[in-house]
Structure 1
Amino acid sequence: MEITPTIQAEVQTYLKRKSLTMTEFGHTIDLNVGTVSGIVTGNRSMSVHQLDSITAGMNLPPDYFYERYIEECIEECPLNWKKISPFLYRCIELGRLDCLQRVVILLLDNPNYLPSLFEVAENVYQDGYNEAAAYLYKKVAESEKQQHSERLAICQYRLFQIKVGQDRAVNLQAAIEFAPFVDRLDEIEQLDALKDLANVYRSLSMWDKVYEFAHQMGQLGQLQYHLVHNSKRKGTEPRKKLSRPLFVYIVYAELLCANACDAKGNHDQALEHIRGYADLNWVKEQDSDTLYWKRKYQQWAKINTYVNRLMSGDISVLPDYVEHIAAEKEILAELLNVLEVANRYNVDVDHILRRFESQIAAYQESPSSDMYTQQVLTEEYVRFWYKIAKYSLNKGRYTYGFKCLLIAFEKAVTINHVLLIANCFGLFLHFKTNAAPKTQAQFHSIYEEVWEKNDQKDGFLLGGN
């Protein structure tokens, strides 16, 4: 078996091959001769910064010695967090998760390192190293002895945030796994967690769950708002910083509850919730951020009152609704409502679609940055193109209608939305005789990919089930 030379031996060989003295090499890599001498002779331990300097000086890949560094400087020495911590960060920066995992396994033998590993996880999560952060959170959570600790709850929350994306099945599982830990979070962080859970269930059209978590968020938000403005604690700010002003969580809860009620056909109850964020005279803050969100919610309350009436079948408010949305920058949800009215009540909305033609063209590409966008807006893009396809096909505009339907179908497959996939293909079959052969082939090709993907999931059935 070939014996791998030590780092020390490789450096010595390099210096001989290049005819370099330790002083010359030290100048090259910006390390003093004493440090280089100590490392080369094996009389001095080496930090990862020094290792990186030596590796760069030898014109080798930055992680070239990392596996040997673990063996020689970590596994064979007493554990030293001051030395190990910078190495973990470098492993993460360079994508060496295998090296990260080797060291973390060593550290987990001593529970005293859990807080330090958790801190690393939090830092790298903030820096966007999600894969490494997920591994660290998972390991910390598995090693946490106190099942009701806030640290465990935060680990589960971060894992939930990392997992949530465009796949609905993954999102649902992530929400189910995280939900039991919400009430173990700090009460301020609970607000954001409840908001995120409600948004996930909203994207899944699971309206009872949306109402449940939104209602919890609203109650908790009211309690925290009262504590902040209570006469005995007036001016006391929450210990943790929220992503929005505190009052926003209260009114967003009302908005979500209204959405859930409208979706379930409870329009009168929805209207009560809309009134809950229409009157914001109780909000005490007067800073610019607060005033911005107050204007937003009051505008949304006005628009959503129109939506509520439209969904109840009052088409007379459609012109006023269109005039109000014309002043808005983001009108995807509003145009969705216009198309729903058109399809449900057989209303001609050609003039409205022409008016917003430029915005409609931009909706072919959906952004996917934050959690809300990935869950809620991506689905709304699919639903928009499905509804405009349905409207166009019913109007006999087959070329444009099938083009829109193809956009919806492809996006529905991307986010694994079973209902929208079925609706898209069902609409295609309904108008299939009007589709060109090329269009028919495209739809059948996509559907066959869906079938092959799902067919592979249908495995064996074990005895006793």
Structure 2
Amino acid sequence: MSNTTTILAELMKYMNEHDLNISNLARKSKMNPGTVSGLVNGNRKFSVYQLDRITEAMGHPVGYYYERYIPECLADASPNWRRMSPFLESCAKLNKLDCIQQVVNMLLDKLGYADPLFELAERFFQGNRYEAAAILYENVALSENKQHSERLALCQYRLFQSRQGANREKSYEAAVQFEYFVDRLEESYQLEALKDLVNTYRTLRKWEKVHKFAKVLGNLAEAQMKSERKHQNVEEDILKNQSSPPTFAYWAFSHLLQAEVCYVKKDYEQALKHNYAYSDLSWVKETDESSLKWKHQYETWSKANIYVNKLMSGQASVLPDYVAYFSTRKDEILTALDNIIDAANQYNINVDDILMQFEPEILSLLEEQKGGGVYNQQFITERFTHFTKQLAVYFLRKEIYSKGFTFLLKCLEKSAAINNKSYILENVRLFESFRENASFETKAARWTDMKNKLALSLLMYY
């Protein structure tokens, strides 16, 4: 299609080449003959629905004429939102992001379009069309004159959510940008937004940030709990909003996170204090289904985390109880095995029998890692990468080199995929330490390929 040829000219040419009259075209496009007549005679503009029907009748894929549709049918002095909105929705479905940006650019200097653009962005976001939604949110944010407005903060929250993914640097940049807006959100969004923000920093191992926002989360949750106690219908309010955890769950999560920060700093005594803080939630009086579920969940997690902190302080005697605890909890197996192998490497504990017991689960994890429950996909991927590195260390030190290099290469492959440069470098150093024990195939083939990827990654970084 020529850039200087209109859609109508293309249609007329098609009708002439295929000897079609208006009635024939109406049947082929499954539209009313009167409608088709108005389009062909230039008496009415195409709606996006009509354009799609005509496009398919002409043998082209839907969206073929979208770039031409914008200047021909949408570029009016007074834009028609009833025509633009369905077009934007069609563009989102087809992932024609450039077209969305063109239409939004036309509306930037027009008054009154921030509201419908925001509402459409929310529909895109709820439909998991995050890239399309992000374009709208970015432009609505730019149009906001009130820099402390709640809608501006919500736009920034949605942009933060839509930018979370495998790329660590982009996730971090999105988190840093959003943290300046989190306290401007409506109260109903703040707890969940803080939870999302701190989970991102947790995944990225930015522990100072985790500590900072975990305390903010706990303080806000405590303040909201005090406010809730002043109302008589708290349980009724909870039942109305079953999609969100009860407020005490955010308070408990704050202590869980602070315990994890202490754990990372190897301050296991302080970590245990935080774990004991949320281990007993008998003071929570709500008895609705959601509250009971979260009470049980945190009491369960506290038991696991108490085992972990005792184990990481060198108390290997808790291993049997810890294994019995997580062996029936599928979602906890990766995290638990990672903790065990980490402790084994630190304190030279033999855990061969545990690794043998969970060998099917380990092999399954090597094939695919899925997020679930409280753990998002980004967290699971990060945890799996750490786990495979620790397994490599464990087996290489025990001179079981075939397994050691298998896990080392798997860790390096995953590290390159998520652009984790620190893990990549650690794997390179570990390989060099045991290079003389590597098989010829490992040296000549897969490792060479991985080192090439490393070189490219570092080159792009610097």
User: When the two structures are superposed, what TM-score results if normalisation uses the length of structure 1?
Assistant: 0.91
The equivalent residue for 1:341 is 343
In structure 1, give the amino acid aligned to 2:219. Q
Aligned length: 457
Are residues 1:92 and 2:92 paired?
yes
1:402-413 alignment to 2 at 5 Å?
A: 402-413=405-416
**Contact 2:416–2:424 (CA under 8 A) maintained in structure 1:** yes
| Conserved 8 A contact 1:227-1:233 | no
Most deviating of 286-295 and 151-160: 286-295
SS in 2 for 1:60: coil
Change (3 A) 1:194 1:118: same
CA contact (8 A) 2:67 2:99 kept: yes
Is 1:453 aligned with 2:454?
no
Residue 386 of structure 2 aligns with an amino acid whose one-letter code is R
Aligned residue number for residue 462 of structure 1:
none
Distance 1:366 1:289, change over 3 A: farther
The Cα offsets for residues 377-430 of structure 1, whole Å up to 9 and x where unpaired, read as 111101111111111111111111111111112112222223322222222122
Gaps of 5+ in 2: none
Residue correspondence of structure 1 range 306-385 to structure 2 within 5 A: 306-330=307-331, 331-367=333-369, 372-385=375-388
Cα separation, 2, equivalents of 1:43 and 1:416:
55
Distance 1:166 1:309 in 2: 32
Q: Pairwise mapping of residues 168-207 of structure 1 onto structure 2 (< 5 A)?
A: 168-207=168-207
Partners of 2:299 and 2:343 in 1: CA distance: 23
Structure 2 counterpart of 1:259, which letter?
E
Q: Is the 8 A contact 1:192 1:242 kept in 2?
A: no
2:392 pairs with 1:389? yes
Q: Deviations over 1:204-252 (max 9, x none)?
A: 2222211211121122223333333423554563797754343321211
Q: Structure 1 residues 316 and 95 mapped into 2: Cα distance closer, same or farther (>3 Å)? A: closer
Paired with 2:204 and 2:9, the residues of 1 have a C-alpha distance of 59
- What is the CA distance between 1:134 and its match in structure 2? 1.8
Aligned to 1:461: none
Q: Which structure is richer in relative contact order (CA contacts within 8 A, separation 6 or more)?
A: 1
Contact kept, 8 Å, 2:371 with 2:380, in 1: the verdict is no
Distance change in 2, residues 1:170/1:189 (3 Å): same
Structure 1 residues 141, 179: CA separation in 2 closer, same or farther (over 3 Å shift)? same
Q: How does 1:93-108 map to 2 (within 5 A)?
A: 93-108=93-108
- Structure-2 change in CA distance of 1:5 and 1:401 (3 Å): closer
Matches within 5 A, 1:277-288: 277-288=278-289
Unaligned runs of 5+ in 1: 459-465
Q: CA RMSD in A?
A: 2.3
CA shift at 1:104, angstroms? 1.1
1:242-281 correspondence runs (5 A): 242-281=243-282
After superposition, what is the alpha-carbon deviation per residue over 1:295-315, rounded to whole angstroms, capped at 9, x for unaligned?
222121112112111222222
C-alpha separation in 1, matches of 2:242 and 2:73: 40
Distance 2:371 2:131 in 1: 17
Deviation at 1:19, TM superposition (A): 3.6
Corresponding residue for 2:223? 223
1:444/1:44 CA distance change after superposition, 3 Å: closer
Please list the CA deviations of residues 426-450 of structure 1 after superposition, one character each: whole Å capped at 9, or x if unmatched: 2212222111122123334312321
The answer (yes or no) to whether the contact 1:412–1:420 under 8 Å persists in 2 is yes
For residues 321 and 242 of structure 2, what CA distance do their matches in structure 1 show?
A: 39
Once the two structures are superposed, what CA deviation does each residue of 1:359-381 show, in whole Å capped at 9, x if it has no partner?
11111134366895333211110
Contact kept in structure 1, 2:166 and 2:378, CA below 8 Å: yes
**Separation of aligned partners in 1, 2:68 and 2:171:** 39
